[in-house]
Amino acid sequence: MIESLDPVLLARIQFAFTIAFHIIFPAFTIGLASWLAVLEWRWLRTGKAVYAEVYRMWVKIFAVTFGMGVVSGVVMSFQFGTNWSVFSDRAGNVLGPLLGYEVLTAFFLEASFLGVMLFGWNRVSPRMHFASTLIVAAGTLVSAFWILSADSWMQTPAGFRVADDGLFYPTSWLHVIFNPSFANRFVHMITAAYLTTAFVVGGIGAFYLWRGRHESHARVMFGMAMIMAIFVAPLQLVLGDLHGLNTLEHQPAKVSAMEGLWETQQGAPLKLFGWPDQEGAVTRYSIELPRLSSLILTHSLDGEVKGLNEWPPEERPPVAWVFWSFRVMVGIGLLMILTGVVALVLHLRNRLFDTRWFQYGCMAMMPAGFVAVLAGWFVTEIGRQPYIVYNVMRTEEAVSPVAGPPIALSLAAFVVTYVFVFGAGSYYILRLIGKGPDTEEEPYGAHGVKEPPLVTGLVSRKGDQSV
Amino acid sequence: MFSFEGFLDLPLIWYGLIGTALFLYVLLDGFDLGLGILFPFAPSDRCRDRMMNSIAPFWDGNETWLVLGGGGLFAAFPLAYAILMPALYIPVILMLLGLIFRGVAFEFRFKATGRSRQIWDYAFHFGSLAASFMQGMILGAFVRGIEVEGRGFAGSPFDWLNAYSVMTGMAVVFGYALLGASWLVMKTDGVTQDWARKCASYVLGYVGVFLGIVSISMPMINADVKTLWFSLPNFFYLLPVPLVTASLFVMIWRDLHRGREYRPFFLSIGVFLMGYLGLAISLWPWLVPFEITFRQAAAASTSQSLLLVGTAIMLPVVLTYTAFCYYLFRGKASHESTY
C-alpha cells in the first residue's frame, strides 16, 4: 500500500507539517522579543523591580520557545532540497540569495546575542544587556523580512525571466525582494505575531489575576496586552483588508476561493458560511449578506467580483480549505477586536483588572493568535495552489525524485518527534507559568540562582575543585 | 543586472566560502556533538552539568553554521543542493531529527527534575550520536560519488548505506569525541578534566586508525585521486599533509600526558584541518563527486554577486561577535544551574 502513495501529496504534507510547526515559534518569539525589549526599557527608565521580574520570568519562556524555533528552523533549510529539489534547482538563482541573507543578517545575530541575553547577566552592563535584547528583537524582524520576501515572491513573482533551460534568472533584485505582495504580507504577519504574543501574555496575566497571584506582575502583563488589543487588533483589520485588495489584484483566484464565489457577479454577496463543493463548482448551504462582498473588495455596492468559473478546474485552488481557513482567521481577528473594545469599556469604568468573566475570556483567547496565524498561512499557501511559483511553475513539477515510502516514513518520524518535543516544551512552559515570576530579593540577573551563574571563570569556589 | 563576473572568479570564491562555512560548522558543532557523545560516560551528574554549561551559550550559534552551509549551498550552487539533498534524503533527515533532540535537551534538561531529567540526558546523547554518525555517513556517501542523470539524482534511496559509509560514520563519531574531550580539558578542571583527559587519549588512537583507513581508501575509490596523490612530483608536494597530521597526533598525545590544558584542543582542530584539507585536495574540483564540478553547479553570476556583497560585510561581523561571545564566556565552566 505504501508504494502507491503519491510523492507530491506526501511532500506537500511533510513540508506543510514541518513549516506549520515551525511558524508557531517565530510567531510567538517575534512578538515576545520586542515585548521583552519594552519591558527592559521600562525597567531601566523607571527602576521598578516589577518590570525586571516580569522580564526574568518571560525570558525563560522565550528561551524554550526560541530553542524549539531554532531546531525546527534548521529542518526548513534542508526541506527545500529534500522535498522540492526541482524547484530548488530552477528557482535557486532568485530565492537562494534571499535565504542566504536571512542566515547572514538574522540567524547569527539572534543566536549569538541570545547567549548574552540569557547567560550574560553578570558579565555585561545593564546597557549592554539591553542592547543584546534589542539586537535579538531586531534579528527576529530581519529574519521575517527575508523569509516573507521569499514567500511573497512565490506568490507574486517579479523581477526575473525564465531562460530556455527552464531556470529562473533575476533581472532586478529590487523587484524580486520588494515584489508586489511583500509589503502587505510583511506588515500583516508582523502585526499578527505581535497580537499572538499579546494574547498569550494577556491570558497568563488574566490567569494570575483570577487566582489572585503575583498581582503587580499580572497587572503589567494584562495591562500591556490590553493596550495591544485595543489599538493593534483593529489596525490588523485594516492591514488585512489592504492585503486582501492586493491579493485581489495579483491572485484573484485566491480571493474567489476565500469568498467561495463561483460565478462572476456584480453586487456579489458575502457568504458568511457555506460548504464549497469543488466538484460541483458551487458553494452549498450558504448564508449570504447581499452585496457586501462587492463592497469589501471593490468598495462599491455593485462592483464586479470574479468567480472561480473564470478559471478551468485544474487552475483552481482547493476551495473549501481556503474558504474555511479564511473564516477562522477573520473570526478570531474579530474576537480580538471585541476583546479590545471590552477592555476599553472596562478600563473607562475602572474595572479592567477585577472583572472575573473577562479574565475567563482572556484565558480562553490565549491560543487564538496561533490558530489565526496558521489559518492565515493556510489561506495564502493553499490559495496559491496548484502553483508553487504563482502562474509560473506548478507544484507537481517541483517535487524531488524521492519515492513515496521514504517520504511517508520520514513524515511519520517528524510527526512523532515534533509531538514529543512540542509536548515536552509546552509542559515546561506551563511549569514556568505555574511558578510565576521570582520576587525574592536577588541581584539583577542572578535568575533564581544565588551563585554567580553558569560559565564562571572568575569564580572558582573550593567545592568546585572536586567536580 | 549587476555582477562581479568580469573581475572576480565567483564560483571559485563561493566554493571556498561554502567549504569554509562547512569546516567551521564541523569544528564548532563538532565539539558540541562530541560532548554529547561522551555525555553518559561522565563520572557524575555534576560533571554532566558542567559539560552542558560549558557549551550552553554557544551551541545555538554553532549550529547556525550548518544553516549557512545548507542555505549557502542553495544560494550559490542550487544544482548541487538539488542533487545532493534527494540523494542523501534519509541520512539528512535522520541527522536533523538527531539535532532536534540534541538542541531541545539544552533547554529542557535544566528545567526537568528527577527522572524526566534522564530522558533529556539520553536525548542529548543519542541525538548527538545520531547526528554525528549521519554526518559521517553523508561524508562516506559523498566521497564515493553520487549517481546523476541530467540535472537530478538518479540513484536509489539507499545508495548512501554501505560498509564504507558506516566506517566514515564511526570515524566522525570518534573525531568529534576527540574535539569534545579536548574542549573539556580546556574548559573544566578537577575530576571532569581528569576524566576528559583520559577520554581524549583513548579516542585519539581510534581517530588515528580511522584517519588512516580513510586516507588509504580515498585513492582506491577513484583512479584520478590516486594519480593526484601518488604521481611525481605531486607526491612530494603533498607529503607535508600526512607528515604534519602524524606529528600533530604525537603532540596531542604528549600534551595530554603532561597536563597541558589549552593546546590539545587547538591541536585537535589542526588534525581536523589536515583531514579536511586532504579531502578537499582529493575532491577538487567536484561539488557532486565525480559528476558535477563547482563551475557547472554555480548559480547565476548576479545571484552569487548579490550574496557576496552581504557575505563580505556580514561574515567579518559574524566572526567578530562570535569571537566576542567566546571571550565573554571564557574560563572554566561551573556546574551551577543555568540562567
Residue B335: the pLDDT is 62
Asked whether residue A276 is domain-assigned, the answer is no
Average pLDDT over every residue of A421-426: 87
Q: For residue A467, is pLDDT > 70?
A: no
Closest to A393 in 3D by CA, of A154, A186, A49: A154
Q: Kindly report the backbone phi and psi dihedral angles of residue A236, in degrees, each rounded to the nearest multiple of 5, phi listed first.
A: -60, -35
d(CA B228, CA B226): 5
Partner residue opposite B300 with nearest CB, options A111, A170, A400? A170
Residue A2: the pLDDT is 56
Contacts A169 to B, Cβ<8 Å: 300, 302
- Give the other-Cβ count within 10 Å of A290's Cβ: 12
Taking CB atoms and an 8 Å cut-off, how many pairs form between chains A and B? 296
Residue A440: the pLDDT is 54
Closest CA–CA distance from residue A25 to any residue of chain B (Å):
13
Q: What is the 3-state secondary structure (H, E, C) of chain B?
A: CCCCCCCCCHHHHHHHHHHHHHHHHHHHHHHHHHHHHHHHHCCCHHHHHHHHHHHCCCHHHHHHHHHHHHHHHHHHCHHHHHHHHHHCHHHHHHHHHHHHHHHHHHHHHCCCCCHHHHHHHHHHHHHHHHHHHHHHHHHHHHHHCCCEECCEECCCCCCCCCHHHHHHHHHHHHHHHHHHHHHHHHHCCHHHHHHHHHHHHHHHHHHHHHHHHHHHHHHHHCHHHHHHHHCCCHHHHHCHHHHHHHHHHHHHHHHHHCCCCCHHHHHHHHHHHHHHHHHHHHHCCEEECCCEEHHHHCCCHHHHHHHHHHHHHHHHHHHHHHHHHHHHCCCCCCCCCCC
Cβ-contact B21, B68 below 8 angstroms:
yes
B100 and chain A in contact, CB less than 8 A: yes
- Give the other-Cβ count within 10 Å of B332's Cβ: 22
| pLDDT tens digits, A173-189 | 899 999 999 999 999 99
Which position has the higher pLDDT, A371 or A48?
Answer: A371
Asked whether residue A387 is domain-assigned, the answer is yes
A446 and chain B in contact, CB less than 8 A: no
Asked whether the beta carbons of residue B303 and residue A94 sit closer than 8 angstroms, the reply is: yes
Asked whether the beta carbons of residue B72 and residue A100 sit closer than 8 angstroms, the reply is: yes
What letters, b where the CB count within 10 A reaches 16 and e where it falls short, cover A198-214?
A: bbbbbbbbbbbbbeeeb
Cβ-contact A197, A32 below 8 angstroms:
yes
Residue A466: the pLDDT is 39
Residue ranges of domains in chain B, CATH in brackets: 10-328 (1.20.1630)
Give the residue from A2, A58, A70 with the most B CB atoms within 10 Å of its CB, the best one to mutate.
A70
Asked whether the beta carbons of residue B307 and residue A70 sit closer than 8 angstroms, the reply is: no
Contacts B306 to A, Cβ<8 Å: 97, 170, 173
Asked whether residue A214 is domain-assigned, the answer is yes
Asked whether residue A299 is domain-assigned, the answer is no
For chain A, what is the mean pLDDT? 85
Asked whether the beta carbons of residue B331 and residue A454 sit closer than 8 angstroms, the reply is: no
Average pLDDT over every residue of B112-125: 86
Q: For residue A270, is pLDDT > 90?
A: no
A164 and chain B in contact, CB less than 8 A: no
pLDDT bin (cut points 50, 70, 90) of residue A452 is very low
Closest CA–CA distance from residue A92 to any residue of chain B (Å):
5
Contacts A414 to B, Cβ<8 Å: 93, 97
Average pLDDT over every residue of B269-279: 91
Residue B336: the pLDDT is 57
Provide the number of structural domains found in chain A: 1
Asked whether the beta carbons of residue B58 and residue A115 sit closer than 8 angstroms, the reply is: yes
Q: For residue B50, is pLDDT > 50?
A: yes
Asked whether the beta carbons of residue B82 and residue A71 sit closer than 8 angstroms, the reply is: no
Domain around A162 = 2-258+322-466
Average pLDDT over every residue of B237-251: 89
Give B 52-81 residues with CB within 8 A of chain A: 53-54, 56-58, 60-61, 63-64, 66-68, 70-72, 74-76, 78-79, 81
d(CA B25, CA B65): 5
pLDDT bin (cut points 50, 70, 90) of residue A3 is low
Average pLDDT over every residue of B83-100: 90
Residue A444: the pLDDT is 38
Tell me which range, A152-156, A355-359, A390-394, is most confidently predicted by mean pLDDT. Answer: A152-156
Q: For residue B168, is pLDDT > 60?
A: yes
Asked whether the beta carbons of residue A111 and residue B63 sit closer than 8 angstroms, the reply is: yes
Residue A249: the pLDDT is 87
| pLDDT tens digits, A6-47 | 888 888 888 889 999 899 999 899 999 999 999 999 988 888
pTM: 0.87
Closest CA–CA distance from residue B238 to any residue of chain A (Å):
35
Residue B330: the pLDDT is 80
Give B 264-323 residues with CB within 8 A of chain A: 299-300, 302-303, 306-307, 310-311, 314-315, 318, 321-322
Q: Which residues contact A251 (CB under 8 A, 6 or more apart)?
A: A155, A156, A181, A383, A384, A390
pLDDT bin (cut points 50, 70, 90) of residue A200 is very high
Residue B338: the pLDDT is 46
Maximal C-alpha separation, chain A: 83
Residue A214: the pLDDT is 87
| pLDDT tens digits, B180-236 | 999 999 988 888 899 999 999 999 999 999 999 988 888 888 888 888 888 888 888
What percentage of chain B carries pLDDT values higher than 70?
99
Q: Tell the residue number behind the cell numbers 583507513, with chain if given.
A: B213
Measured in whole angstroms, the distance separating CA B104 from the mean position of its chain's CA atoms is 20
What percentage of chain A carries pLDDT values higher than 90?
30
Q: For residue A448, is pLDDT > 80?
A: no
Give B 158-217 residues with CB within 8 A of chain A: 187, 189-192
Closest to A288 in 3D by CA, of A267, A303, A309: A267
Contacts A104 to B, Cβ<8 Å: 68, 310-311, 314-315, 318
A93 and chain B in contact, CB less than 8 A: yes
CA distances from B182 to A37, A208, B242 (A): 38, 48, 22
A175 and chain B in contact, CB less than 8 A: no
For chain B, what is the mean pLDDT? 88
| pLDDT tens digits, A116-135 | 888 777 778 888 889 999 99
B155 and chain A in contact, CB less than 8 A: no
What percentage of chain B carries pLDDT values higher than 90?
34
Asked whether residue A439 is domain-assigned, the answer is yes
B104 and chain A in contact, CB less than 8 A: yes
Q: Which three cell numbers stand for residue B51?
A: 559539560
Q: For residue A460, is pLDDT > 60?
A: no
